[in-house]
């Protein structure tokens, strides 16, 4: 099967329709209609076998995660995901693997109302590169650079479960129910696009937690030329991380990656409105600290002592 037959068989038949796709797969480029009053956001992620996923993982799960981590980039900026391109590098043509992968891709794109509009296939070590395009109302994109001293720091959910799953990949004696919960967090993260309106309206800065809370919060601080102090008692740690990490649970959650929750800041004048909007939407977020003018990260321990925090998280190099 050559690359054109591969595309025709597994990807060209995607039937998800959006009115803003003038034309998609089948030409040298897709033609898309940007809505009036909207701005276009573009992000790209590459997932590599042996780095981001294991060769023996179900191709369906690999596709689902690939989509989710890209959607999370849109969520971090308050944008709605719309269109996707796929560059797929394969060591060989494996129809059963491709069938599972394309089904996972189709199901995920349908779930998020995203159209696959193009891409490329080539031979080489297995890797998946997705480029996602989203829209946000003009001048409403939430960036990393808007945090100010006094802003409250929030996270959108419990942390550490995906990193715990990675730590336990080689364990065969793990409780089956616990392993299923942890692996679901790793393979099927939930991008927080449900917070789009709240971020657009109330947040001053935001980022998704892919490399670990301390590492990603440090990106906000660097972009905004500020520092931060976290309250250890306020950091929401997943119950299974507490179970298996014990006294190290908070430290593990601070440095673990792959959560794809959001870390964001809210100015004091916006906080009451933000809380009311959360309640109306029946969403829960967790206040974990405050932005400070002094550079660097600090933590307030449960005893009340404030100490410097060494930034740790995932890094490719």
Whether residue 14 has pLDDT greater than 80: no
What are 215-262's pLDDT values in tens digits? 999 999 999 999 999 999 999 999 999 999 999 999 999 998 899 999
Strand partners for 122: 89
Higher pLDDT, 302 or 285: 285
**What DSSP string runs through the chain?**
--HHHHHHHHTTT-----TTEEE-BTBSS-EE-PPTTEEEEEEEEEEEBTTTB-TTS-HHHHHHHHHHHHHHHHHTTTPEEEEEEEEEEESS--HHHHHHHHHHHHHHHHHHT-EEEEEEEEESS-EEEEEEEEEEETT----GGG--TTPEEEESS-BSHHHHHHHTTT-SSS-HHHHHHHHHHHHS----GGGHHHHHHH-SEEEE-SS-HHHHHHHHHHHHT-EEEEEGGG--B-HHHHHHHGGGHHHHHHH------EEEEE-GGGHHHHHHHHHHHT---EEEEEEESSSEEEEE-TTS-EEE---------
Cβ atoms 24, 15 nearer than 8 A: no
Task: Tell me what pLDDT residue 317 has.
Answer: 58
User: DSSP letter at 151?
Assistant: P
Query: Which band of pLDDT confidence, cut at 50, 70 and 90, is reported for residue 198?
Result: very high
Q: What is the fold of 144-308?
A: Phosphoribosyl-aminoimidazole Synthetase; Chain A, domain 2 (3.90.650)
Q: Give this prediction's pTM.
A: 0.92
Whether residue 314 has pLDDT greater than 80: no
CATH architecture of the domain covering 3-137? 2-Layer Sandwich (3.30)
Task: Tell me what pLDDT residue 315 has.
Answer: 64
Higher pLDDT, 137 or 313: 137
Residue spans of the domains in the chain: they are: 3-137, 144-308
What are 113-147's pLDDT values in tens digits? 999 999 888 999 999 999 999 999 999 999 999 99
H or E element, residue 10: helix 3-10
Nearest to 257 by CA among 9, 51, 5: 51
Q: How far is CA 79 from CA 71, 135, 217, 282, 296, in A?
A: 9, 5, 20, 20, 29
Other CB atoms within 10 Å distance of the CB of residue 241: 24
């Amino acid at each position: 099967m050559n690359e054109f037959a591969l595309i025709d068989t597994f990807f060209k038949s995607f039937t998800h329709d959006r009115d803003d796709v003038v034309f998609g797969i089948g030409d040298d480029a897709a033609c898309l209609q940007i809505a009036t009053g909207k701005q276009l956001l573009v992000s790209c992620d590459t997932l590599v076998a042996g780095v981001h996923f294991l060769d023996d993982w179900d191709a369906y799960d690999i596709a689902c995660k690939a989509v989710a981590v890209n959607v999370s980039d849109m969520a971090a900026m308050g944008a709605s995901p719309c269109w996707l391109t796929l560059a797929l590098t394969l060591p060989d043509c494996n129809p059963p693997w491709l069938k599972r992968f394309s089904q996972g891709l189709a199901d995920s794109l349908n779930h998020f109302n995203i159209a696959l509009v193009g891409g490329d296939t080539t031979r080489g070590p297995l890797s998946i590169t997705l480029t996602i395009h989203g829209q946000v109302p003009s001048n409403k994109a939430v960036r990393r650079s808007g945090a100010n001293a006094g802003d409250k720091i929030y996270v959108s959910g419990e942390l550490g479960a995906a990193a715990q799953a990675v730590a336990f990949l080689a364990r065969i004696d793990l409780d089956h129910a616990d392993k299923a919960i942890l692996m679901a967090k790793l393979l099927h993260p939930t991008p927080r696009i449900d917070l789009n309106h709240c971020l657009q309206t109330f947040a001053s800065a935001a980022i998704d937690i892919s490399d670990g809370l301390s590492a990603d919060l440090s990106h906000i601080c660097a972009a905004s030329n500020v520092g931060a102090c976290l309250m250890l008692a306020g950091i929401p740690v997943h119950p299974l991380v507490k179970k298996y990490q014990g006294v190290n649970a908070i430290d593990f959650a601070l440095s673990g990656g792959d959560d794809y929750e959001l870390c964001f800041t809210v100015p004091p004048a916006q906080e009451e409105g933000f809380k009311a909007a959360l309640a109306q939407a029946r969403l829960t977020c967790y206040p974990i600290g405050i932005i400070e003018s002094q550079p660097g990260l600090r933590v307030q321990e449960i005893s009340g002592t404030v100490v410097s925090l060494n930034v740790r998280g995932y890094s490719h190099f």
